[in-house]
Amino acid sequence: MEDFVVKEGRKLKCGFTTGSCATGAAKACAEMLLTDKTIAGIAIDTPKGIRLNLQVEDIIKQQGWVSCAVTKDAGDDPDVTHGIRIFARVEKIENGILIEGGEGVGRVTKKGLACAVGEAAINPVPRRMITEALMETALKYNYKGGFSVFISAENGEEVAKKTFNPRLGITGGISILGTSGIVEPMSEKALIDTIHVEINSRLAENQETLLISPGNYGRDFALKRFGLDLEKGIKCSNFIGETIDYSVYMNVKNILLIGHAGKLCKIAGGIMNTHSRTADCRCEIFTAHAALAGASGELIRRMMEAITTEEMDDILQEAGLAPKVYESMMSKIEYHLNQRAAGKTRVEVIMFTAQGSYYGTAGAGKLIEMLSRENTSS
């Protein structure tokens, strides 16, 4: 691809999705099937409006069917499916276009995903892309019949172990994905879409209370302290605001957010994307609440010069101000989360420190009980 995006002062190359690979391979197979010619490349139109010229590889032509592959190029995005070959095998049928998944393409086992339980994990947009590309090819050569399409992925089962698929209940391989056909490097949208899928999956299992944490620290703490398994919850990374927004949209009743003070303290300042590139006001927030708790000028200066959350916590513990500061901070965290949820979803919070102490909103204990019962019954 020749398209680029600029992020953090760097020019980064875009790539194309597994859905675009599958579409290109299927279209190339149909072209060769209808013309009996061998082709080295194929052009497809993506939903984003970008036309891709894809190289066609590993061509096999037999009586009645053709198979070929397109190699996934993720550009400068750290995508685990970069370099994987997506194969299509196409044959003529009487009418219609049937799309099925073969080796290396996952199979859906849980409700709440874009594909029905039992279906191959080929998402709706790639299915539409394949269908439209084959219809275009049939029209081009005045072919009145239909096509049967099998999509497979080289080493797909092994690669899928590095993705969210095992958590989502997709077994046996990768998913054929892509809503735009294009991969943007370090795409926040891809991460947010994954969070949405996880929420949908939990709701399909009739969960009324969602356990959410930014990452592994929260997972380990939740399991060790409360016996809550975050593998049955949702990792929201830095996208706390986006996670709440989608939960409200999906009418989620309750959220329990568990996280380290280094992340969650930012919410006390109204910061809902906690990545340090977006905002890093930890010292300012801790210091402001220390001042409200009666800290001396010298202690406030030390707080502002602290480098880590752990160092600030040590200073507060030493001065005997930690409980008052964290209670003050939790009050603002609760305020900003309730503002974000607009009263439509109940959000409770547990914030913990590296030393193992923790502080929670008034209703957090009740949600822990509810989640414990759900975990026991599931």
Do 360 and 215 reside in the same domain of the chain? yes
* Residue 148, beta-bridge partner list: 91, 98
Do 111 and 206 reside in the same domain of the chain? no
What's the confidence (pLDDT) of residue 24? 98
Do 63 and 178 reside in the same domain of the chain? yes
Mean pLDDT (10-residue bins), the chain, 378 residues: 52 84 98 96 94 96 95 85 96 96 95 89 96 97 97 96 86 93 76 88 90 83 86 87 96 95 94 84 95 96 90 94 96 96 95 89 92 73
What's the confidence (pLDDT) of residue 270? 95
What's the confidence (pLDDT) of residue 365? 93
CA 189/CA 13 separation, integer angstroms:
17
Residues with Cβ within 8 Å of residue 296, at least 6 apart in sequence: none
Domain end, chosen from 162, 183, 204, is at 183
CA 192/CA 189 separation, integer angstroms:
5
Parallel, antiparallel or unpaired: strands 209-213 and 254-260: parallel
Tell which residue, 15, 46, 42, has the closest CA to residue 126: 46
Rounded to whole angstroms, what are the CA distances from 10 to 4, 211, 273? Answer: 10, 36, 21
Residues with Cβ within 8 Å of residue 226, at least 6 apart in sequence: 368, 372
Q: How many domains does the chain have?
A: 2
- Structural domain containing residue 308: 188-377
Number of DSSP helices (H) and strands (E) in the chain, helices first? 13, 18
What's the confidence (pLDDT) of residue 8? 47
Contact 210, 202 (CB under 8 A): yes
What's the confidence (pLDDT) of residue 376? 65
What's the confidence (pLDDT) of residue 378? 58
Do 230 and 81 reside in the same domain of the chain? no
What's the confidence (pLDDT) of residue 377? 62
What's the confidence (pLDDT) of residue 4? 53
CA-angle at 190, arms to 174 and 346, nearest 5°: 110
**CATH number of the domain that residue 117 is part of:** 3.30.2110.10
CA 96/CA 81 separation, integer angstroms:
30
What's the confidence (pLDDT) of residue 375? 67
Parallel, antiparallel or unpaired: strands 146-153 and 182-183: unpaired
For the entire predicted model, the pTM comes to 0.73
